[in-house]
Amino acid sequence: MLHDESPDAVEARERNFILGTYARTSFHPRSGKGARLTDADGNEYWDLLGGIAVNVLGHQHPRLVKTLRGESKSLFHVSNLFYHPAQGILGERLVRASGLLRAFFCNSGTEANEAALKFARLANPGRSGLVALEESFHGRTFGALSLTGHAAYRTPFEPLVPGVTFVAPNDIAALEAAVTDKTNAIVLEPVMGEGGIIPLTHEYLAAARRIADRTGSILIFDEIQCGLGRTGTLFAFQQSGVVPDIITLAKPLGGGLPLGAVLTGEAIEGVVKPGHHGTTFGGNPIACRLGCAVLDEIEQSALLARVNEIGEWFGGELQKLRTRMPSIVEVRGRGMMWGIELDRPAKEIATALMAKGFVVGTARDNVIRLLPPYITPKKAFVDFVAVLEEVLVEDSGPPLSRQPGAAVLHTQIAQGAISK
Ligand SMILES: Cc1ncc(COP(=O)(O)O)c(C=O)c1O
């Protein structure tokens, strides 16, 4: 069986036949249960990355397994020329839970953002300006990439979609200045993921709503990484009370299968007509049924309360660790979404954590990023804090030049205390 191939053989085949888009870590997870992963050599790990925010119920969750088994007896694909019940059922649940009005299904986060840009253009014809945030991440296709505020991702592919202005996160004055009556849409992640886990303040989101209303721009919240329970409410925007015109979702939505969604509000009503947009695979019946199972489990096992409770306690433990460890510059996040900004490269620390049984992610050069499953037991976090301390004590790597943490830096820039 292909599953039994040795790690070396797997890597050799990829080197020969797979396009080198990923700088993969030499880690070969082969099985998992709950928040545990087992690699090809039988080593076990706590999975604190959850497939980059996908596996919110961990691995082999009984509800997902049961749903998948049930669905395997049904149609694997139904063309979007025709009807199947699962899209409407999942769409209704997302619409009712968010307070928006309609759902469109696609296959990924980047596709959700592409669709959102097209819907915003239809709602605001003739206005092509877009405002997004420095260090944001919205995907890799031309539209989504054009909105991504990380130059290294964009530069090799320029020229991109024109008319995008980037502003610093949480800087209300900069947003005021950038958005005009030519702006089509403002695109924000309520908690920025790839940018290093930077929560946007409630005041900032409220200001964005005000500015969008004043200029007639569409307000789009990309909740692909921070949505669907990650920060303790089903949608991150619900903590601010600021309702956007469009929300984009993906990652955990399909229970591990590819599924993205765009939720649209009043501003988009009536503007999207048949033929304007579509996809062959979007809203696949199995993925939508798994999406319903994810929502059922979040609801019936009171996972939001758990995310809040563990998040609050864990955040406190990380802050305490920061006071003991000078190599931790800043700790940011909420719920099950945490960034630990270091004064040194995060990759080496992530490698050392893996050697001690923890799978974590990184963001930017110096942030350890945690996006664990919502079912992760408290013990995993207790052990993680102890092991991170151990690893940081052992690490003698040269610190990066000492700078304020990203969130502090943005606040200082916004307040005019320092310039960029
Ligand atoms: C906030 C955000 N938007 C968009 C995307 C792109 O999603 P996908 O990789 O599913 O295309 C990501 C992926 O990391 C993301 O974190």
Indicate whether residue 114 lines ligand 1 (CB < 6 A): no
Query: By the 8 A CB rule, do 258 and 108 touch?
Result: yes
**DSSP code string of 289-337:** HHHHHHHHHHHHTTHHHHHHHHHHHHHHHHHHHHHH-TTEEEEEEETTE
Indicate whether residue 189 lines ligand 1 (CB < 6 A): yes
Collapsing DSSP to helix, strand or coil, 89 comes out as helix
How far are the Cα atoms of 110, 194, 388 from residue 339, in angstroms, in the given order?
Answer: 22, 10, 13
Lay out the sheet containing 328-334: strands in order across. 328-334, 337-342, 367-370, 361-363
Is pLDDT of 363 > 70?
Answer: yes
Indicate whether residue 193 lines ligand 1 (CB < 6 A): yes
Query: By the 8 A CB rule, do 45 and 383 touch?
Result: no
Is pLDDT of 131 > 80?
Answer: yes
Please report, in angstroms and rounded to a whole number, the separation of the first and last CA atoms in the chain: 55
Average pLDDT value for residue range 5-21: 97
Is pLDDT of 68 > 80?
Answer: yes
CATH entry, 2-60+302-406, from 2.60.40.10, 3.50.50.60, 3.90.1150.10, 3.40.50.720: 3.90.1150.10
Is pLDDT of 415 > 60?
Answer: no
For residue 199, say if its preceding peptide bond is cis, omega within 30 degrees of 0.
Answer: no
Q: H/E element holding 3?
A: none
Task: Please give the class, per CATH, of domain 74-300.
Answer: alpha beta
Cα 43 from Cα 411, distance rounded (Å) = 43
pLDDT digit string, tens, across residues 227-241: 999 999 999 999 999
Structural domain spans, the chain:
2-60+302-406, 74-300
> What atom of ligand 1 comes closest to residue 113's alpha carbon?
4
Mean pLDDT of the chain: 95
Is pLDDT of 407 > 70?
Answer: no
Is pLDDT of 381 > 80?
Answer: yes
pLDDT of 410: 52
Cα 147 from Cα 276, distance rounded (Å) = 21
Is pLDDT of 411 > 80?
Answer: no
Query: By the 8 A CB rule, do 172 and 414 touch?
Result: yes
Is pLDDT of 416 > 70?
Answer: no
Instruction: Give me ligand 1 centre to Cα 145, in Å.
Output: 10
Indicate whether residue 148 lines ligand 1 (CB < 6 A): no
Instruction: Give me ligand 1 centre to Cα 26, in Å.
Output: 23
Indicate whether residue 107 lines ligand 1 (CB < 6 A): no
Indicate whether residue 138 lines ligand 1 (CB < 6 A): yes
pLDDT digit string, tens, across residues 36-46: 999 999 999 99
pLDDT category at 419 given cuts 50, 70, 90 is very low
Is pLDDT of 2 > 60?
Answer: no
pLDDT category at 396 given cuts 50, 70, 90 is confident
